[in-house]
Amino acid sequence: MNNVVAWEYPWLQDLLESFQRSHKSSTLAHAYILSGSRGLGKKQFALEFASFLTCERPSTKGPCGECKSCKLNVTANHPDVLYLAPNEPGKALTVDQIRRLSDYVHVSSHAGGARVAVLAEAHKMNSSASNALLKTLEEPHESTYLFLVTDSLGLLSPTIRSRCQRITLPTPSLAVSLEWMRALKVREFDEQLATSCLKASGGSPLLAMEMLLDESLPTRQALEHEFIACLTGNSSPDNLLASLLKSEPITAIEHILSTTAHCAKLMLVNPSESHDSSNDTGVLGGLAPSSAWDRFLEQVKTSDGDYNARRRALFGNRLVRLYDEIEKARRQLQSSSNPNSKLLLGSLCWLTSRALK
């Protein structure tokens, strides 16, 4: 069955089994929030579980792929599965879309079974859309299930969060992701390149795979190089801005976010405790911030060990502050307020150039 992919993601197996158990024991919640980093398969998970819930002959391997319901789901035409996402990238979900969702859940199932709605990028709601959704969540209907999908859980209103069961999709270990990438056999497998893509994607296998296929790793590495050069006073904020503008704003921002996190971690963790490049934390820190960062640290090192330790702590704390600012900008970009992304990135470049001074 080539349309069922989430069922084959090894990092989602436990979650799928637990959802199947809840379904079997009729204890599924009426509304779920699926959160977690980008590139883990949240949306696929929700849509395929919707196919499973509406399939006429489901099994532990997922929906059958053969029945009338499955065929309708493949073409996204099932009358009992509603999928909603912002109409355009970067735009908010509209109150009309949420009203459509509310009307939809009030109608009973065409096939007499489950009725499912999947709301992608659920954090992109303004307050009127959010209020409309809240009303729907307050009036659950039997055999109707709602999946709100988001990679910015903090942007969903606390009331909405409290009305749903929250599930965070796990980020797999480097070994699990590598094995999955190897098994796809899309081209001759280069473990070193795949590892670099995984590190650059913050450990998200689908993003890493995308990077491997579209060959965007060099662009990302160039961006990281420019970011560290600006941070260490070896290049200007203008150069960094030019580099950031070569990618989608949100992609660029997420990349410098993971680089900042990695640099901060290197500063704040005792060097003798940080031999973890092969495990999960190594992946989550982003790309090893290369020789440029190491060279900078080497240059500012003195013969006074205590002074060096204090300076590492100081740099670490300043990087944490910079991380907070970048994260704030990421949230603004993902919100429904449509900020001017060039201005926002420009101010981040300036903050980066000042961060260690």
Which residues contribute to the site for Zn ion (CB under 5 A)? 55, 63-64, 67, 70
What does the alpha-carbon distance between residue 120 and residue 219 come to, in Å, rounded to a whole number? 28
Nearer to Zn ion, 51 or 232 (CB): 51
What does the alpha-carbon distance between residue 339 and residue 329 come to, in Å, rounded to a whole number? 9
Instruction: List the beta strands (DSSP E) in the chain.
Output: 31-35, 81-84, 115-119, 144-149, 165-168
**CB-side exposure of 45: number of CA atoms within 13 Å?**
32
- Min CB(6)–Zn ion separation in Å: 15
Nearer to Zn ion, 65 or 140 (CB): 65
- Min CB(80)–Zn ion separation in Å: 13
List, in sequence order, every residue forming a beta bridge with 308; answer none if it has no partner. Answer: none
Nearer to Zn ion, 55 or 206 (CB): 55
Nearer to Zn ion, 64 or 320 (CB): 64
- Min CB(49)–Zn ion separation in Å: 13
CB 315 within 8 A of CB 356: yes
Nearer to Zn ion, 70 or 253 (CB): 70
CB 31 within 8 A of CB 146: yes
52, with CB counted inside 10 A (0-12, 13-18, 19+), is buried
Nearer to Zn ion, 1 or 134 (CB): 1
- Min CB(3)–Zn ion separation in Å: 11
- Min CB(206)–Zn ion separation in Å: 25
Identify which of 355, 333, 350, 151 has the alpha carbon closest to the alpha carbon of residue 247: 333
DSSP 8-state code for residue 83: E
- Min CB(75)–Zn ion separation in Å: 13
Identify which of 90, 91, 166 has the alpha carbon closest to the alpha carbon of residue 129: 91
- Min CB(14)–Zn ion separation in Å: 23
Nearer to Zn ion, 55 or 125 (CB): 55
Identify which of 153, 169, 165 has the alpha carbon closest to the alpha carbon of residue 42: 169
* Torsion sign over Cα 57, 59, 63, 65: negative
> Which region holds residue 179: left if phi is over 0, alpha if psi is between -120 and 50, else beta?
alpha
